[in-house]
Structure 1
Amino acid sequence: MPAKSGAQQKAAGAALAAKRGDIKKSELRGASRSMEKSMSESELEKMASTKRKGKPEHKTEH
């Protein structure tokens, strides 16, 4: 599943780093913390690798 915003992509990257052991899980906050718990490593890879060009920093809901 591709990221819908730059913020979502960054959160997925942080969650992926924690899942791989590059950073401590205790350093995660907010969305990245819940992503790390609820998503698999492959799902996080897909979301974190999404290109940010043309995406808003934050997704607004309509």
Structure 2
Amino acid sequence: MPAKSKAQQKAAGAALSAKRGETKKSELKGASKSMVESMTEKELEALASTKRKGKSEHVPKSKAAS
């Protein structure tokens, strides 16, 4: 499952770091905070490893619902 935006990819990377114990879970904010609890390490790796080229910074609201 590839990330749909740069922001989603960055949040997954932060959550993955916390899941691996490289950073503290208490330092997480926003989406990464919920990702670390609800996703497996393998799912986070898939999102975090997405190429950023051609991705928008954020997903437009019309695409976020689909």
Question: What TM-score does the superposition give when structure 2 sets the normalisation length?
Answer: 0.92
Letter paired with 1:42: K
Q: Percent identity, please.
A: 73
Structure 1: gaps spanning 5 or more residues: none
Letter paired with 2:24: K
Structure 2: gaps spanning 5 or more residues: none
Between the aligned partners of 2:33 and 2:2, the Cα distance in structure 1 is: 18
> What number of residue pairs does the alignment pair up?
62
Between the aligned partners of 1:29 and 1:14, the Cα distance in structure 2 is: 9
Root-mean-square deviation (Å): 0.4
Deviation string 1:24-62 (CA, Å, 9 cap, x unpaired) is 000001100000000000000000000010000001121
Deviating 4+ runs (over 2 angstroms): none
Q: Which residue of 2 aligns with 1:45?
A: 45
